[in-house]
Amino acid sequence: MSALLETRTLSKHYRIGSALRGYRTLRAVDGISLQVERGEVLGLVGESGCGKSTLGRCMLRLTEITAGEILFDGRDISRASDKRLRPLRPRMQMVFQDSYASLNPRRRVGDLIAEPLRIHTHADGARRGEAEIAERLGELSHLVGLPQSALQRYPHEFSGGQRQRINIARALALSPDLVVADEPVSALDVSIQAQIVNLFMDLQESLGLTYVFVAHDLSVVRQIATRVAVMYLGAVVEIGPADTVLHSPAHPYTAALISAVPEPSVGVTTRRITLSGDVPSPVSPPSGCRFHTRCPSAQALCSMTAPALQDMGDGREAACHFPLLT
């Protein structure tokens, strides 16, 4: 496999405050370097506010970056103009968390799904005719499990799970290579979550898609991801094969996240790791390791020196001075 997407020391900072009280810098994403291999499912996990959704948007240049580089299929798109990005847009799509807010309530479902087909031309510059668009709409509705009649209805007539199927169909309309799914099942009932996750998995297998799957629910990530990147306070603290990271974590923060997942088996108990204190503000992150203020294994070195991601020897990297594997 080769990297379809790569970020190099990618950062996204926001200027907050006012002229009266003074301005400060919020470090939403702070120097992240990672690769998304072609055909894989990379799970981005972490607590709310850790920067995972911002990172997903930056990857597709839906949010402008502050520093660093983004390479898509070997091309540097970090600061590419809208004109240069336009030919690449069909190849990179996003499924948003809020299945209702991402759909125009005044338009029929068929028009919503067809919109990218009307906006973007074929590779040779030819526009799609209405007959071709109608045929593609039929294919997409079948692909995501929606009846043909759904194309004539409005978003408010559907459940949350059905609306997310509509969003997935729209994201797939132009046959993308990469799909960034931003918490696509977090607002759905548990039973519906399973259906949508299974749909993502079926589509990935049949279409050969590459996913960046953003989620805070590790049970969902365990089901779909081939590799996992764990984020804390704007930085990746551990990354590696999903089975390795989720069954034998090297970073104390990863271990704490895993311990918080409910165990479905009767009579099986998991030792819960309780983290002290609150997540520090990304406006003023702690010195040294940004997790040391809550880490049960922290030592003096942790507050003085920020650990870099280091190879654990098993296909995974962790940013910890005292990894759990040693």
Q: Are 318 and 312 in contact (CB under 8 A)?
A: yes
Residue 216 sits in the same domain as residue 278 = no
φ, ψ at 37 (rounded to 5°)? -75, 150
> What pLDDT shows up at residue 279?
83
Share of the chain above pLDDT 70, in %: 97
Assigned domain for 243 exists: no
Q: Are 165 and 109 in contact (CB under 8 A)?
A: no
> Whose structure tokens read 């009649």?
149
Residue 70 sits in the same domain as residue 192 = yes
> What pLDDT shows up at residue 264?
62
| Residues 177, 87: Cα–Cα separation, whole Å | 13
Residue 267 sits in the same domain as residue 216 = no
Assigned domain for 194 exists: yes
Residue 38 sits in the same domain as residue 86 = yes
Residue 50 sits in the same domain as residue 139 = yes
Which CATH number belongs to the domain containing residue 73 in this structure?
Answer: 3.40.50.300
Contacts of 147 (CB under 8 A, 6+ apart): 141
Assigned domain for 302 exists: yes
Candidates 181, 160, 169, 241; CA nearest to 207 is 169
| Residues 300, 288: Cα–Cα separation, whole Å | 10
- Model pLDDT for residues 208-241, shown as the tens digit of each residue: 999 999 998 888 999 999 999 999 999 999 999 9
pLDDT tops 70 at residue 153: yes
- The count of domains in the chain is 2
Q: Which of 210, 225, 240 is the last residue of a domain?
A: 225
Assigned domain for 262 exists: yes
Length of the chain: 326
> What pLDDT shows up at residue 189?
87
Contacts of 178 (CB under 8 A, 6+ apart): 4, 5, 36, 60, 72, 91, 92, 93, 209, 210, 211, 212
13: β partners: 27
> What pLDDT shows up at residue 223?
92
> What pLDDT shows up at residue 326?
52
Residue 13 sits in the same domain as residue 133 = yes
Residue 263 sits in the same domain as residue 217 = no
Residue 163 sits in the same domain as residue 127 = yes
Which letter does DSSP use for residue 289 in this model?
A: S
- Model pLDDT for residues 106-148, shown as the tens digit of each residue: 999 999 999 999 999 888 889 999 999 999 999 999 999 999 9
> What pLDDT shows up at residue 180?
97
> What pLDDT shows up at residue 269?
55
> What pLDDT shows up at residue 99?
87
φ, ψ at 120 (rounded to 5°)? -95, 140
Domain enclosing residue 314, as ranges: 249-326
Higher pLDDT, 56 or 273: 56
pLDDT tops 90 at residue 95: yes
**Other beta carbons less than 10 A from residue 324's beta carbon:** 15
The pTM of the full predicted model, rounded to 2 decimals, is 0.92
- Copy the structure tokens of residue 39: 């055909």
pLDDT tops 80 at residue 28: yes
> What pLDDT shows up at residue 270?
61
Residue 263: which pLDDT band, with cuts at 50, 70 and 90?
low
Q: If you average pLDDT over each of 96-105, 106-115, 181-190, 311-320, which comes out highest?
A: 106-115
Residue 211 sits in the same domain as residue 267 = no
The SS3 assignment for 231 reads strand
Assigned domain for 242 exists: no
